[in-house]
Amino acid sequence: MEFATRTIHAEQPSEPGTGSLVAPIFQTSTYEQEAPGIHQGFDYSGTNNPTRARLEAVLADLEGVSHAAVFASGLAAEFAVLQAWLRPGDEIIVPVDVYGGTYRLLTKVFRPLGCAIRQIDVSDPAALSSVLSERTRLVWIESPTNPRLLIYDIAAIAAAAHARGALLVVDNTFATSLFQQPFQLGADIVVHSVTKYLAGHSDLIQGAVLVKDASVFEPIKFLQNATGAVPSPFDCWLTLRGLKTLELRVLRHAENAAAIAEALNGHPRVRRLYYPGLPTHPGHEIARKQMTGFGGMVSFELDGSIDDVVSFVSSRRFFALGESLGGVKALVCHPARMTHASIPASERAKLGLSDTLVRLSPGCEHHKDLVADLLEGLTALDGARAGDRVALVV
Ligand SMILES: Cc1ncc(COP(=O)(O)O)c(C=O)c1O
């Protein structure tokens, strides 16, 4: 079955009792038992729920593995992986570009527990092999990364991690299972902020962990129940609904991102453009090798002041200023003050994360409207600057 067909048919038969094409939402907390401990596989929705189980089966199918657990947020999913696999004294390697919430979780929760966080340029094989040690438990990457859309060679990093006995975790949120299949490249664990493209409509918060091996999955599944950070049946149902148009939506996001990158490339107000589809992007060739599309995101460093950035991101017609991404409605964000504000300014500077970086998440609008809106905003900055000069002269 092809991917689009699987999003609609995999693990989603019509309901046997009624013929209903769409499964009902099992909006229940508990289940009647025949005798103590004798039930039909469901006892309490904190532990299991039919709507959640269906979603887990579909997500596992789309990522090509048999184990999935969904959580109340992407960060809760990440927490379960880290809690399951990191112990005091262990080390985790993360790239220079990583989602700010992941960075906060590692530095503010796991570092104080005695875990060492090694943040390096994982695209440099020498740097990676020099920090990998017998204490390295996990190597954690995103590709493309949030927010600069850097690309890392998943197969090469998996081989290096495995050679030292470490597990490779890939946050596949930006690529989605449509454009990238990390397990085929050697990943051991995949995490998603389902909140983004998978659910796709900016109407819920949810996370998922997918795992290849039962032994790696078992402690994560245990924590799903033990910590209780599970999504509601209704949110699971909404994600099942969103997944049915995943391919349609993500192809449109990608088409829009490509049109925007083309329009911004070489613009005098764009100091640096980050889009893996550009042949000049340092990870372009790797992206071509390991992805089937370049994703739906575009980031750029604005050539201007922080005030220019604030004015640009706050006054778009179609790009709402907001923290998230991957929904049908376009979003723009200023990572230094929003998604990545939890990384101290001095660290951001060291990591090369510019304070004038703008991150765009084009929605499913028509690309002509999105491009026009961005170009208008950049032109308006020059107007404002000319206005300043006039004011000074007067
Ligand atoms: C790449 C990435 N991973 C994980 C998360 C966390 O997901 P959530 O917001 O669903 O907790 C985010 C959120 O922005 C993200 O961008």
- Residue 12: CA count within 13 A, CB half-sphere: 25
Mean pLDDT across the stretch 131-156?
Answer: 97
pLDDT for residue 117: 97
Sheet-wide strand order for 67-71: 67-71, 207-211, 189-193, 167-171, 136-142, 91-95, 116-120
383 alpha carbon – ligand 1 mean position (Å):
36
At 388, the pLDDT band (50, 70, 90 cuts) reads low
Q: Measure 75 CA to ligand 1 centroid, in angstroms.
A: 6
Q: What is the pTM of this model?
A: 0.95
Mutate to test the pocket of ligand 1, among 78, 109, 146 (most ligand atoms within 8 A of CB): 146
CA of 120 to the centre of ligand 1 (A): 20
- Mean pLDDT for 169-193 is 98
pLDDT band at 387 (very low <50, low <70, confident <90, very high): low
Hey, whose CA ends up nearest to atom 12 of ligand 1?
A: 193
Tokens encoding 332: 């723009």
Residue 142, sorted as left (phi over 0), alpha (psi -120 to 50) or beta, turns out to be beta
Query: What confidence tier does 392 reach under pLDDT thresholds 50, 70, 90?
Result: very low
Tell me: pLDDT of 337 over 80. Answer: yes
Place of tokens 């909006």: 27
Q: Which residues contact 45 (CB under 8 A, 6 or more apart)?
A: 26, 28, 29, 30, 52, 230, 233
Q: Whose CA is nearest to atom 8 of ligand 1?
A: 74
Picking from 16, 22, 42, the residue whose alpha carbon sits closest to that of residue 31 is: 42
Q: Which two tokens stand for residue 8?
A: 């609609």
Give me the mean pLDDT over the 25-46 stretch: 97
In angstroms, what is the span from residue 318 Cα to ligand 1's centroid?
Answer: 23
Q: At what angle do helices 246-264 and 367-393 cross, to 10 degrees?
A: 30
pLDDT for position 386: 60
| Ligand 1 atom closest to the CA of 196, numbered from 1 | 10
Q: Is the pLDDT of residue 389 over 80?
A: no
Cis peptide before 144 (omega within 30 of 0): yes
Cα–Cα distance measured from residue 207 to residue 60, given in angstroms and rounded to the nearest whole number? 13
pLDDT single digits (tens) 260-315? 999 999 999 999 999 999 999 999 999 999 999 999 999 999 999 999 999 999 99
Q: 177 C-alpha vs ligand 1 centroid, how far in Å?
A: 15
| Residue 339 confidence (pLDDT) | 83
Distance of CA 295 to the CA centre of its chain: 11
Name the β-bridge partners of 210.
68, 190
The single-letter code of the amino acid at 317 is R
Mean pLDDT in residue range 2-27: 95
CA distances from 373 to 212, 386, 387 (A): 43, 20, 21
For the stretch 261-275, pLDDT in tens is 999 999 999 999 999
Ligand 1 cavity residues, CB under 6 Å: 73-75, 99, 101, 142, 146, 171, 173-174, 193, 195, 205, 207
Provide the mean pLDDT of the chain: 95
- 3-class state of residue 75 by DSSP: helix
Residue 165, Cβ density class (10 Å: 0-12 exposed, 13-18 middle, ≥19 buried) = exposed
Question: How far, in Å, CA of 202 to CA of 91, rounded?
Answer: 34
Which residue has tokens 């206005």?
387
- Name the residue with the closest Cα to ligand 1, atom 14: 324
Q: Specify the pLDDT at position 349.
A: 86
Structure tokens at 171: 């946050």
Angle of CA points 356, 309, 267, to nearest 5°: 80
Bridge-based pairing state of the strands 116-120 and 207-211: unpaired
Is residue 390 predicted with pLDDT exceeding 50? no
**pLDDT for the residue numbered 302:** 98
Summarize the confidence of residues 17-26 as an average pLDDT: 95
Separation of alpha carbons 385 and 308, rounded Å: 9
Yes or no: say if 294 and 261 are a contact pair by the CB < 8 Å rule: no
CA–CA distance, 101 with 82 (Å, rounded to integer): 13
Q: Give residue-wise pLDDT tens across range 113-134.
A: 999 999 999 999 999 999 999 9
Q: What is the pLDDT of residue 341?
A: 87
**pLDDT value of position 351:** 80
Percentage of residues in the chain having pLDDT higher than 90: 91
Collect all residues with Cβ–Cβ distance below 8 Å to 195 and sequence separation of at least 6. Answer: 73, 74, 204, 205, 206, 207, 324, 326
Is residue 394 over pLDDT 80?
no
What per-residue string of b and e applies to 128-137 under the rule 16 or more CB within 10 Å gives b? beebbeeebb
Cis peptide bond prior to 335, omega within 30° of 0: no
- Per this entry, what is the length of the chain? 394
Q: What does the pLDDT read at residue 165? A: 97
CA of 326 to the centre of ligand 1 (A): 11
Pocket test for ligand 1, best of 143, 195, 230, 239 (most atoms within 8 A of CB): 195
